[in-house]
Structures are given as C-alpha cells and as structure tokens.
Amino acid sequence: MAHRPRRGAVALLGGLMLAVAAVAAPFQATAAGMPKAAPAAAGSGLVMVLDSSGSMSGSDGAGSTRIAAARKAVGAVVDALPDGYPTGLRVYGADKSKGCDDTRLVQPVAALDRAGLKRAVAGVRPKGDTPIGLSLRKAAGDLPRPAGGSGGKRTILLISDGEDTCQAPPPCKVAAQLAASGVDLHIDAIGFQVAGKARAQLACIAKAGNGRYYDAPDARALARQLQRAGQLSADGYRFKGKPARGTATRSGAPHLVPGQYLDSIGPGEERWYAVDLDAGSTADFSATVVPQSGATVGLLDTLNTRIAYGTDSACDSSTALFGQSEGATPLTSGVSRIPSQTGTGTCDKAGRYWLVVQRKAPKGSDAARWPMELTFHVEPPLTKGVTPAQSEPEYGAGGKDAALPTTAPRDVTGGTDFNDARPLHPGVWRDRILPAQTLWYKVPVGWGQQLRYDVEFANEPTVRGHSATLSSGGTQVYTPFRIPVGSGTGEFDPSVPYDGRPAALKMGTVPVAWTNRYEGHPNVIPVHQKGDFYIAVTLGAKAAEIAQNPRIGVVLRIAVLGKEKAGPEASAATVTGVAAGRTPGARADGAPLDGGGWSTGRVVAVAVGAVGVLMLAGLALAYARARRKTAVRGGDSDPRRGGSW
C-alpha cells in the first residue's frame, strides 16, 4: 500500500532573517559585469521601433525632452543586451513634417553593435506623424527570416508617446496578423507618458501581438521597462532537438527513437508520435510548451501528455496547468510507461505505442501555435536477480523544517531553459530575475538522497502607486526526465504572493528510490531516478508594476540530504571518496554516475507550470483524486540604491 506524505502548510512567510553577508556584494548592472550568454537560436532578433514624431520633442517632465529620455533608455538597453544578440532600430516620424509613409530602418538587425545603435538614435530628430501600423509591418520584415524548427524568437519592441495618427493600416489589426504569422514573433509595447486612447491602443497592440504592455510614466520608468523588455527577448527559452511533425491521429504518426525533438501545437490540437517498446523497459516522455511571454492564459489552460496502447488503453496520463493569470510561462507535462510488477498488465506487452500531447484552451486564451520541445527516453529494467531498496515515500529530514545552508551567497546566473540550466551544488546562491522570467538550474542527486531548497525574493524599492498590485513568485522541481514533482497536495506550495517585500518558498523531493515508482503520491512516484534534478524559478509579470529596479534579487539555499548509495539495489554501499571538485552523485564531467533508472508510474498526474500559481486547494485535491481513480485504467537589486535582503 502506498504511503502518502503529510500535507504541507502554505509557505507564506511573514519575515525573513537573512544574513548580513547577503548584501555585502551588490549586483552588477553593466554589460561588462554580465556573463556571456549562449548564442541566440537561428532566426532570433530584436528590432526596436522608436516614436520620433513631433510630440517626442516635448518635455519629459524632468527638465529634458522625451526624445532625449528615449536616447538614454535605448543606450541602457543595448548595454544590457548580451554580446552579439541580433538587434536593430527603426524610427517613424523622423524625416517629414507630415506623412503616413514616414518610417525608416536606421540600424539593420545584425549582431549587436552598441556604438552603432547609440549613434543611430542620437541622430534622430522628431518631426512628423505617427504611422505605427505601417512601421510594425515594416519591422516584421526587418527581422531575420523564421528558421523552421530552430526555436528562434523574433521581437518587435515599440516605444511610443502617443497613438497612431494615420488611418491605415490599423495597428492592432497589423499586430494580430503578424503574431498569427508564426510561433516565433511577438510585439511588446512601451507607452511613454501616455493615457486614455493612446494607452489603450498601445496595450491593444501588445495583447494582439502576444507581447506585453509596459507603462512608463517618466524617463526612469522608460529606461527600466525598456531594459526588461529587451532582456526578456534576448534571454528567452532556447530550444534543442530534431524536427518531428506529429499528426492529428495515430494514423501516419512519425516514428520516434529515443532523443529530443521539436514541434508546435495549436489550441485544441492533439499531436501523435509512434514508438516501439519491448516488454520490460521503461519509456519516459515529456513535452514542454513555451508560449510568448505576453500570451493570454488562464486557470484552465492545460497541457496533457499520455502514452496510448492498442485501440483504447492509456498507460499513463498527466495534465499540467498554468494555474495563474499573469501571463504565459514555460509549461511541462511528463508521462511514463512502466511495466507492472506482475508483468501481466495491459501495457506490459512489446509492440507499438503512441506518445500523445493535447493542448486545451478555453475561449479567450491565446490562439497562437506554441513551440514545443519533446524528450523521449528508454531505460532497461534492473539486472535479473537484483533486489531494489525499499521505497522512500516520506519527506522526513527533507520536510519544510529542514535546516538549509546559511553561508554568504555566491553570485550565479541561471539558465534560460532545461538545456542550459546552470549546474549548482549545495550552498547559497544569489541571482537576479526579470518580471515574467523563468530561471533554470540543475543539481545532481544520488540514490538515497533528496533535494531540498528555499527560494527567497528580495525586498525591493517600489514604484509610486503600486500598493494595489500583487504579483507572485514561483518554483518547480523536475526529475532528470523532466517530470514535475513540486505541485499538488504535497509538502510544499509552489507559489507565494510578491509585492516588493521579502517573500520565500520552500521546495524539495522525497529521497530517490527505485521502488518509488510503485507508490501512490504524485510527488513520490517520479522520484526513482538519480541524476540532475532541475529547479525552475519564476517571477510574475505584474512585478514590473511594483519594483523600481529592472531585475529583482533572488537567493537559493540548496541542500542535498542523505548519504549517496552506489546503486538502486538494497545492498548498495555508501559512496565515499568523492573526487576533489566533483559534486556527489556526478562524474568528473558533471554527468550522472550511471544512466540507469526508472521514471513515473502508471497513474494520472497533475502539475503546475514553472511559474504557475497553485490553484485553489479544492481544485488541486480534485485533480489528485482524479489521478488516483484513473490509475485503475493505466545592477539591479543593489542595496545601496534602496533594495535590501
């Protein structure tokens, strides 16, 4: 009979007692202090579209002009962008006193030329009209051509102090057409000192373009919001895999072998993929969708994965949901086909199986296709005669009250996705995060060990009038085969409200044990494979309306508890003599000590996305009950500037 861990209390902490050492080294905001970013995916690029109409010569309310403030803001964003990121600049209203065709590309989209972009914007003189619709259409052509299957990200970043003064083409309609033209294009908009109809139009452009609208009431806010939008574009999810075009039914489904693949999925669609399995091996399958960061999602947008066999059998089914309405974030669902202990189950036979992904979207949700990354692994069974260690279904020492490291934090920069997750070892780590961003890390965890960590969001100087705004911080932990295990009705809560004051989350796993796959709790079953466990940390988009600094400080306190065993068997010895400089549970090159292991059991799972705010406890419990029933069927945060820890 499965043992279930006790249900944890909601992790809402009234105050944080953080070490004084945490503020000893301020975050660096200059380009020189930033680590080198991974190369942009093919087809990626950013084009800024700058309003240079006559109104931009007006006062910015701080003793300068709006165009002067825009020049400084563009300089700040290009300094913060990663080296080489393809970036260009288009202006409108700069060449004629009147004219709805007045739009010009002043700096082509090419490898980042900071000096060239600054010179280009310095030469802009406000003159004419505001042909936003035409400029957006032209800007789409300025960007690199879409690179099929590469997972590129193309961004149009509009900066304007007013609404379109030309009748055609309508800017909101143009934005919607461009966003529908491909999964890799979106439009962000920044309204500089706008109100009324102008603000409404710019917000409409961003929403129709699957982007975000940023309000900039003054020059400082303009620089802050422009940095956020630019960095989010450059630091987006970088996909990896071979193209694989799934079919709408099992008929004609492409045949997959173990590996990593790329596809896309639209609202209401199913994507089918065929695989051949033997009678004894485990098959592990995950799907990660990455909508544009401004895409509209709701509590009932879901991603379902299942493994089908025969005409009507499902070996495993898992449903992931965003669980919040601050905007889209990466969302992962994972399933496994695991042979039963008796070997007589419906899904124990050798033959053809299908991996199926389904996207459900209620009315009003994002209608664009979402890029999707798939992983498929096959793991052999344990050697005949090997007796595995007993299951470990309780959190025990790794519960919410576990003692975590309190040493001074070391700076780290999180990855953009599963593929470049930053390797960490136990200790205290400090990073910075943008509103609407997800940062990724990975920690090796061995047999008999468990991962336990806290995420702490910093105290931040806030903008005036933010008191009615509430955002959220979130975290999720994934197994080496990308199965989420930090959601549902377990020990931990994956989200916490954030209003600029300190907020913290606790998260972790049960110990890794091969026989956990036969347990009944959704947070226990997948934890039966040693290797790199992934940590995702997200800050909600509404934090952009709260914090003054472009990025918000975050601290991770990471522990790997328990003595590592040499293998999954009951008689396995404790690992000793770890080589110098090597994290326990990994080879000298950082890879797992072995490739063996098993993934999730034959039950229905429910997960919340990397940034998802946990839904009402009743809904989560309902999903957990559904799962059990289905089983019978198969520098920014610088303390010197006001921020503190």
pLDDT, tens only, 557-608: 999 999 999 999 999 999 985 433 334 433 333 333 333 322 233 334 445 5
Q: Tell me whether residue 396 is exposed, middle or buried, using C-beta atoms within 10 angstroms of its C-beta: 0 to 12, 13 to 18, 19 or more.
A: middle
- Whole-number Å distance between alpha carbons of 485 and 510: 10
Report how far apart the first and last C-alpha atoms of the chain are (Å, whole number).
45
Mean pLDDT, residues 454-459 taken together: 97
**pLDDT tens-digit series, residues 361-398:** 988 888 888 999 999 999 899 999 999 999 999 999 99
For residue 30, name the pLDDT band (cuts at 50, 70, 90). very low
- pLDDT of 86 reads 95
Give percent of the chain above pLDDT 90.
66
Residue 264 has pLDDT above 70, yes or no: yes
Residue 433 has pLDDT above 90, yes or no: yes
Mean pLDDT, residues 260-268 taken together: 95
- pLDDT of 281 reads 92
**pLDDT tens-digit series, residues 164-220:** 999 889 999 999 999 888 768 899 999 999 999 999 999 999 999 989 999 999 999
Compute CA 418 distance to the chain's CA centroid, rounded to the nearest angstrom. Answer: 9
- pLDDT of 196 reads 96
**Residues 44, 238 contacting (CB under 8 angstroms):** no
**pLDDT tens-digit series, residues 461-511:** 999 877 778 999 999 999 999 999 987 667 899 999 999 999 999 999 999
Mean pLDDT, residues 259-288 taken together: 95
Residue 441 has pLDDT above 90, yes or no: yes
Residue 23 has pLDDT above 50, yes or no: no
- pLDDT of 109 reads 96
- pLDDT of 313 reads 84
**Residues 109, 143 contacting (CB under 8 angstroms):** yes
**Residues 124, 52 contacting (CB under 8 angstroms):** yes
- Whole-number Å distance between alpha carbons of 627 and 90: 52
Contact partners, residue 544, CB within 8 Å, separation at least 6: 212, 214, 225, 228, 435, 436
Residue bearing the bigger pLDDT, 43 or 12 = 43
Lowest pLDDT segment from 331-335, 422-426, 536-540, 583-587: 583-587
Residue bearing the bigger pLDDT, 30 or 125 = 125
Region of 36 on the Ramachandran plot (φ > 0 left; ψ -120 to 50 alpha; else beta): beta
Q: Tell me whether residue 393 is exposed, middle or buried, using C-beta atoms within 10 angstroms of its C-beta: 0 to 12, 13 to 18, 19 or more.
A: buried
CA distances from 160 to 25, 138, 167, 206, 414 (A): 37, 16, 17, 12, 32
- pLDDT of 147 reads 64
Cross-strand partners of 454: 506, 557
Phi, psi of 174, rounded to the nearest 5 degrees: -60, -45
Q: Tell me whether residue 357 is exposed, middle or buried, using C-beta atoms within 10 angstroms of its C-beta: 0 to 12, 13 to 18, 19 or more.
A: buried
Closest CA to 521 of 494, 489, 493: 489
- pLDDT of 153 reads 84
**pLDDT tens-digit series, residues 134-171:** 999 999 999 988 766 556 789 999 999 999 999 889 99
Closest CA to 335 of 375, 291, 275: 375
- pLDDT of 123 reads 94
Cross-strand partners of 88: 47
What is this structure's pTM?
0.83
**pLDDT tens-digit series, residues 306-361:** 999 988 888 989 999 987 788 889 999 999 998 888 888 889 999 999 999 999 99
Phi, psi of 464, rounded to the nearest 5 degrees: -65, 140
Tokens coding 527: 């934890």
For residue 10, name the pLDDT band (cuts at 50, 70, 90). very low
DSSP string covering 50-93: EE-SGGGGSB-SSSSBHHHHHHHHHHHHHHHSPTT--EEEEEES
Give percent of the chain above pLDDT 70.
81
